[in-house]
Amino acid sequence: MNPIDIPAIEKQARRLRAAEIQRVNGLFAERAHLVAKLTVQSVSAGVSVVSEALRPIFSWNPQAR
């Protein structure tokens, strides 16, 4: 029966854990970037709609006629 090399097992487990943490961090960063991009696009679209709705109020000139 071969002896169990506990330090090597622990070292491999730490490497695997670090790799998994890096993978999860990458997924989180990718999704955070996507959410931020979608938020900016949504806010931009909302500002555009509000701008178009307010334009007639501020462009009215009673002396034009």
Q: What is the pLDDT of residues 11-60, one digit of tens each?
A: 999 999 999 999 999 999 999 999 999 999 999 999 999 999 998 888 87
Taking the model in full, what pTM does it have? 0.64
Q: What is the DSSP string of 1-65?
A: -PPP-HHHHHHHHHHHHHHHHHHHHHHHHHHHHHHHHHHHHHHHHHHHHHHHHHHHHHH--TT--
Ramachandran bin of 26, using left for φ above 0, alpha for ψ from -120 to 50, beta for the remaining angles: alpha
Write down the pLDDT at residue 64: 59
- What gap in Å lies between CA 39 and CA 24, rounded to an integer? 22
pLDDT tens, residue by residue, 47-60: 999 999 998 888 87
Does the structure show a pLDDT above 80 at 62?
no
**pLDDT on residue 3:** 86
Cα distance between the two ends of the chain: 103
